[in-house]
């Protein structure tokens, strides 16, 4: 667009064109001979003013070039002149004369125009038919380098002396004029590509603002093939300066070393090349992704009004504190906002309701408090992922949350919400995961949950729900994880759970359920099944006998009956089984020796008889446990098997203390080293067990979760869904 005079080629020199063939100038003719058929008179109908607008004070000259000829006629002339024939072949190249027709006038069609800038995608400019783009055609940043590239096609005849001219005005005063000789070209089917040498937009107070310009493509006959009248802007680096002001307010800037406007070769560095910053084709910042960058400080000095095109803001897993700025609500194009795993406090600003394009909102694992304003949900029509878990929210869950009909994941867990669950949640028929656990929610589980047929994860544990098991949940036949433990639910559990063939985890512990255990694992791959601390009666379900996928089972503290040796099968993946304090009878069967991964088997408080089979000696992972029960204390001679009885003798107590004290001291030393980082992580409570995981597990979980959230915005397909985080927690869980 013609600002950098030093970077432009002189008018007499043509820039390199990337495709061939290119016509040599006439002075290359053999012996200085200029064929009369090639020299021609300009067509009056093709003339358009160019040189007079350039103010070059050049005297217009009209030259008699002679009559024009078609390409076929050119070849027919002087056929006997060998040197002239070779010159014409060089001139015309591999032209298909059958396709060029008999037209005298050449035709040049400009196919595309693009502004190229290093480190950013090419800005392809639409070419209007009338040559007048509507409104602002493009925007450039001050001090930025760019080049213009265009492709064109030549047909019918040779185009001679094709050149590009451009003039720029600001407030009516011409500030720049550029002429670029492109060259002479023969017609061909393949388009030509030409790139103008790189230029630099001016910078400074007087350079910023709006410009008008006119670009033309003309040939030696002054025939104009394209004229475009347009406007463009040169803007100040306001976004970059806003980021630098925020950087200066932060105590730790080690990860932001690339954030600088230092002059490099007399040009300002572009913020589009800074760490964590992404831009659109026009150079405007559209993404700020600084997850896990060890940034401390707050957001009060980051002026969001300078980022009108910001679409993604990811500051997760840092040490940011203070309130969430209400100015975030001015980001009308924001689609992804991730502020999770920080120390942000205060209220959730009502201005966030202005984010009409938002599809992902993560502010979990902070210190945000207050009630959720129902007006927040009025404009979030495109919201798919809402995670507010592990904060200090209070009050009731607003019924207006049912307006978010496109939600796929909703996490309000680990807060202080109370009252009933609004039945309007049943309107969220696209929900894949719902986490409301660790609150003070009460009342019955709404029957409208039966509408959530896409649900695969439902976490309602550790609340105060009452009433019976909601039969409507049987409609959710895609459920993979159902967690209802530690509530006040009562009554029978429907046997229809057997129809949930995708179920892998079922947790019913610490309620007031009664009646028989539900039939589960019929066609499903159930791995975790807990129903402890209830009033279940009757025999062990037959479906459990052949459930070889089981990994963890907790059925203790019920009134279950049956036989320990007949009602249980072989579980190759089982690592933890607790059946204590029931009414089980029978023997410790040798079949338990087939559970090769078994680490703990607890059957105390039952009526188990007999000897411990020698197969138990082959279970290398099985740990001695003081509540493993056998009635007889005898064993066969020469049988090298572990025998542990219910009575806690003094010798066992001394042995336990001798083993425990060194272990406790070593764990204390480990915890002192890792406690600080563990305290920084609030997402470490295991959602499937009542007791928190230990700090070693916490650090492992923190690592995988922080790794996952860092991909938001950078790789949307790798978004860390609740299922992903749940899987990470499950894999890192200790047996409690």
- Give me the phi and psi of 401, to 5 degrees please: -65, -20
Q: For Cα atoms 235, 241, 243, give the angle at the middle one, nearest 5 degrees.
A: 125
CA-based diameter of the chain, in Å? Answer: 125
Cβ neighbours around 543 below 10 Å, total: 17
Residue ranges of E strands in 203-284: 209-218, 224-235, 263-264, 267-268, 277-279
CB 184 within 8 A of CB 159: yes
- Is the C-alpha dihedral spanning 355, 361, 366, 370 positive or negative? positive
Q: For Cα atoms 521, 522, 528, give the angle at the middle one, nearest 5 degrees.
A: 10
Cα 174 versus chain centre, distance: 46
Instruction: For residue 147, say if its preceding peptide bond is cis, omega within 30 degrees of 0.
Output: no
Question: What is the model's pLDDT at position 227?
Answer: 87
- Return the residue matching tokens 């040189």: 51
Q: Point out which residues pair with 209 in neighbouring strands.
A: 234
Question: What is the model's pLDDT at position 269?
Answer: 62
Q: Which residues contact 521 (CB under 8 A, 6 or more apart)?
A: 498, 529, 543, 544, 546, 547, 549, 550
Residue ranges of E strands in 367-423: 367-371, 385-387, 392-394, 409-411, 418-419
Q: For Cα atoms 171, 173, 176, give the angle at the middle one, nearest 5 degrees.
A: 115
Structure tokens at 169: 């005005």
Q: Point out which residues pair with 200 in neighbouring strands.
A: 145
| SS3 state of residue 477 | coil
Question: What is the model's pLDDT at position 684?
Answer: 29
Distance from C-alpha of 390 to C-alpha of 413, rounded to nearest angstrom: 6
Distance from C-alpha of 699 to C-alpha of 684, rounded to nearest angstrom: 8
Distance from C-alpha of 404 to C-alpha of 427, rounded to nearest angstrom: 8
- Is the C-alpha dihedral spanning 82, 83, 84, 86 positive or negative? positive
Which stretches of the chain drop beneath a pLDDT of 50?
4-62, 263-267, 626-655, 657, 663-665, 667-701, 703-704, 706-712, 714-720, 723-724, 726-736
Cα 307 versus chain centre, distance: 20
End-to-end CA distance of the chain: 70
Cβ neighbours around 102 below 10 Å, total: 10
Q: Which residues contact 368 (CB under 8 A, 6 or more apart)?
A: 324, 344, 345, 346, 347, 348, 388, 391, 392, 393
Q: Confirm whether pTM is higher than 0.75.
A: no
Question: What is the model's pLDDT at position 187?
Answer: 81
Distance from C-alpha of 376 to C-alpha of 397, rounded to nearest angstrom: 12
Structure tokens at 183: 């060259």
Q: Point out which residues pair with 577 in neighbouring strands.
A: 553, 601
Q: What is the DSSP letter of 242?
A: H
- Return the residue matching tokens 């005849």: 157
Distance from C-alpha of 546 to C-alpha of 563, rounded to nearest angstrom: 15
**Tens-digit pLDDT profile for residues 438-462:** 999 999 999 999 999 999 999 999 9
Instruction: For residue 21, say if its preceding peptide bond is cis, omega within 30 degrees of 0.
Output: yes
Provide DSSP, 140-167.
EETT-EEEEEEEEEEESS-EEEEEEEEE
- Give me the phi and psi of 537, to 5 degrees please: -130, 175
């Amino acid at each position: 667009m013609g600002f950098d005079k030093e970077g432009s080629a002189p008018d007499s020199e043509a820039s390199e064109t990337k495709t061939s063939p290119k016509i040599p100038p006439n002075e290359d003719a053999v012996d200085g001979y200029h064929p009369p058929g090639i020299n021609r008179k300009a067509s009056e109908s093709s003339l358009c003013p160019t040189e007079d607008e350039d103010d070059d004070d050049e005297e217009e000259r009209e030259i008699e070039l002679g009559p024009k000829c078609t390409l076929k006629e050119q070849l027919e002339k002087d056929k006997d002149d060998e040197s002239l024939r070779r010159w014409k072949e060089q001139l015309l190249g591999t032209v298909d004369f059958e396709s060029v027709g008999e037209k005298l006038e050449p035709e040049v069609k400009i196919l595309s125009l693009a502004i190229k800038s290093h480190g950013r995608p090419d800005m392809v400019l639409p070419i209007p038919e009338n040559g007048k783009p509507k409104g602002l055609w493009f925007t450039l940043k001050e001090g930025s380098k760019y080049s213009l590239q265009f492709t064109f096609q030549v047909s019918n005849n040779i185009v001679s002396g094709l050149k590009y001219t451009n003039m720029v005005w600001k407030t009516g005063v011409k500030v720049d004029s550029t002429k670029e000789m492109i060259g002479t070209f023969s017609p061909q089917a393949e388009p030509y590509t030409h790139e103008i040498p790189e230029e630099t937009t001016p910078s400074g107070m007087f350079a910023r603002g709006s410009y008008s310009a006119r670009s033309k493509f003309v040939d030696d006959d002054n025939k104009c093939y394209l004229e475009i009248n347009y406007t463009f802007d040169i803007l100040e680096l306001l976004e970059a300066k806003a980021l630098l002001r925020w950087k200066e307010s932060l105590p730790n800037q080690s990860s932001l070393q690339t954030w600088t406007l230092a002059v490099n070769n007399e040009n300002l560095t572009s913020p589009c090349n800074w760490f964590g910053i992404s831009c659109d084709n026009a150079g405007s910042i559209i993404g700020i992704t600084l997850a896990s960058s060890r940034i401390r400080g707050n957001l009060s000095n980051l002026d969001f009004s300078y980022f009108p095109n910001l679409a993604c803001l990811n500051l997760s897993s840092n040490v940011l504190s203070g309130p969430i700025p209400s100015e975030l609500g001015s980001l009308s194009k924001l689609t992804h906002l991730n502020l999770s795993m920080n120390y942000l406090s205060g209220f959730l600003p009502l201005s966030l309701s202005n984010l009409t394009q938002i599809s992902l909102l993560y502010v979990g694992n902070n210190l945000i408090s207050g009630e959720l304003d129902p007006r927040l949900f009025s404009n979030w029509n495109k919201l798919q992922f809402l995670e507010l878990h592990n904060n200090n929210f209070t009050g009731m869950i607003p019924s207006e949350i049912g307006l978010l009909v496109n939600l796929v994941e909703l996490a309000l867990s680990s807060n202080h919400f109370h009252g009933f669950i609004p039945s309007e949640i049943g309107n969220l028929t696209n929900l894949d995961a719902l986490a409301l656990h660790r609150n003070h929610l009460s009342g019955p589980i709404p029957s409208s949950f039966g509408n959530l047929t896409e649900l695969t994860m439902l976490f309602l544990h550790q609340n105060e729900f009452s009433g019976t098991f909601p039969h409507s949940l049987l409609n959710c036949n895609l459920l993979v994880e159902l967690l209802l433990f530690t509530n006040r639910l009562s009554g029978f559990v429907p046997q229809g759970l057997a129809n949930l063939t995708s179920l892998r985890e079922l947790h019913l512990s610490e309620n007031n359920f009664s009646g028989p255990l539900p039939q589960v694992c019929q066609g499903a791959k159930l791995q975790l099944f807990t129903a402890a601390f209830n009033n279940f009666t009757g025999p062990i379900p037959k479906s459990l006998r052949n459930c070889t996928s089981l990994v963890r089972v907790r059925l203790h503290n019920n009134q279950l009956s049956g036989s320990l040796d007949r009602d249980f099968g072989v579980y190759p993946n089982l690592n933890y089984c607790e059946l204590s304090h029931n009414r089980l009878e029978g023997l410790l069967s040798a079949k338990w020796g087939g559970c090769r991964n078994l680490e703990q088997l607890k059957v105390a408080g039952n009526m188990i008889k007999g000897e411990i089979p020698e197969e138990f000696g082959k279970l290398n992972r099985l740990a001695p446990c003081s509540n493993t029960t056998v009635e007889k204390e005898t064993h066969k001679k020469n049988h090298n098997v572990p025998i542990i009885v219910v009575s806690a003798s003094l010798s066992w107590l001394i042995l336990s203390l001798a083993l425990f004290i060194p272990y406790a001291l070593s764990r204390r030393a480990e915890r002192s080293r890792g406690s600080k980082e563990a305290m920084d992580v609030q997402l470490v409570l295991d959602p499937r067990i009542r007791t928190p995981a230990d700090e070693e597990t916490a650090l492992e979980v923190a690592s995988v979760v922080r790794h996952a959230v860092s991909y938001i915005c950078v790789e949307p397909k790798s978004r860390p869904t609740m299922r992903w985080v749940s899987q990470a927690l499950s894999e890192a869980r200790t047996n409690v």
